Structure 1
Amino acid sequence: MGLSWCPKCGAELLAPSVYSSDWRCAEHGPTLPLSIFARRDAAALEHIRERAEVPLWVPDPVPLGWTLSGLAAVGDDRSRFRATVVACQGPAPLGGEGEWLIVAEEPGVGLGSSYARSSTTDARALSAGVAAAKIHALGHPTSLWPVLDTVADRSAYVGEADGVWLWLISFPADAGYAVLEDLAVTDVRHRAAPSIGTGPLSRRLRPGN
């Protein structure tokens, strides 16, 4: 792990000290830290799944040509991880290169909406209309709703799986059409991770990028 960031805005955090046990963001105050892992290997996956209170979602099966491009988590040794992120890169459905960020988070963390660049931080408000797609999470059909107020270079969908929020943020926006193609994800806290190669480290894992 390297530096720690605010999950709501991507700002660098002030670390705990003798005066305060909290990580602090200049804008959002006390917050759990987002840590981005330099390594994307079995040891990094093991580190996250041993400490995660939420799923660690990985595509299963992995779409042809897609690779693992990043891992991140929100939390520390006291709180354990309250959000996880898996980044994958590969051929976009409509041509060119695409990237997904698959986020699992407890309510209130704010990481998914930050990646989506959405002003709506409460995912419940997004899931009131008609679902746009379904993916399979642990073999169960899971409805996803579109996040409409994203910026033009991405698309975002959100739903609920295993009792917490599941976000899929796609770059470019048309890479999100993959959710319409029977995407399945598995929680590698409880199952062996599917075979997936390693790609270049994602630049999207710090919110604000």
Structure 2
Amino acid sequence: MGVTVSCPRCAAQVRKPDLMHTAWRCDNCGEVPPFHVAEHISAEIVESMLRPVARSADRVPFWCPWPLPAGWMVTGVGWAGDDRAGVRASAVSCSGPEPLGGGPADVVLIAEQPGVGLGTRFAGIPGIDPGYLIAEALADPNGHQGPHAKIKAAGHPTPLWCVKSPEDRSAYVSEAKGMWLYAVAWPASAGYFLAEHVVLHDLSEGVPPELVYGAPSPYLQGRA
């Protein structure tokens, strides 16, 4: 199985631990948990990417919409971490028809522990954690009152807040299972995907045999 490894915060190449350093390093960001992405996708690859989760003390969920909306497929999976620290973040990409009928759409769902920075990288927002953006949304007296979207994650109602991101995408942030939850959609209008009664299932608790797989997402691979 081919795997690409990059910095979770800036997508640059990372250096492996050596005699002088015990952690993976990025020339731009310093010590980071390396982000591993499978170059292809299938049931077997998903299962192999989930194996490091079983060895981690703190289980990071791999969020996937289930059931998948009509025409949607799983198009990628990745995780950030190493053998020393375990899995600290996960990413699952899905692709399908754009909800407003404008062509193809892509959504990347990310779960991460604080301090990783994978979600802010994909969302295109500054910083490592998004807490300040949620606080700003809640404190704005002229802003939207209440969450911008509502989904279910692991059986629990989960509010999502839309945060300012580049114009080519929409980014939503929340918390689930004690970790940050991001949903980043391309194009920006694909964020309406979250209005379709989305239910998120943690693939680390079981991969549905009916899951459909498609061509690898260029967004998860960092080629878009």
Gaps of 5+ in 2: 54-58, 139-145
Count of residues in Structure 1 that have an aligned counterpart in Structure 2: 208
Name the SS for the 1:74 alignment partner: strand
User: Is the Cα–Cα contact under 8 Å of residues 61 and 194 in structure 1 kept in the other structure?
Assistant: no
User: Is the Cα–Cα contact under 8 Å of residues 134 and 161 in structure 2 kept in the other structure?
Assistant: yes
1:29-48 alignment runs, 5 A limit: 29-48=30-49
User: Is the Cα–Cα contact under 8 Å of residues 41 and 215 in structure 2 kept in the other structure?
Assistant: no
**CA deviation profile, 1:12-61 (whole Å, cap 9, x unmatched):** 01122222222110111111100111232223222333322210111111
Name the SS for the 2:108 alignment partner: strand
| 1:3 match | 4
Work out the percentage of aligned pairs sharing the same amino acid: 38
| 1:134 match | 150
Gaps of 5+ in 1: none
1:49-68 alignment runs, 5 A limit: 49-52=50-53, 53-68=59-74
Please give the TM-score of this superposition, normalised by the length of structure 2: 0.87
User: Is the Cα–Cα contact under 8 Å of residues 160 and 173 in structure 2 kept in the other structure?
Assistant: yes
The one-letter code of the counterpart of 2:186 is F
Please give the TM-score of this superposition, normalised by the length of structure 1: 0.93
User: Is the Cα–Cα contact under 8 Å of residues 69 and 199 in structure 1 kept in the other structure?
Assistant: yes
User: Is the Cα–Cα contact under 8 Å of residues 117 and 127 in structure 2 kept in the other structure?
Assistant: no
Give the RMSD, CA atoms, in angstroms.
1.6
| 1:157 match | 172
User: Is the Cα–Cα contact under 8 Å of residues 62 and 194 in structure 1 kept in the other structure?
Assistant: no
**CA deviation profile, 1:95-114 (whole Å, cap 9, x unmatched):** 11000000010011101110
Worse-superposed segment, 188-197 or 76-85:
188-197
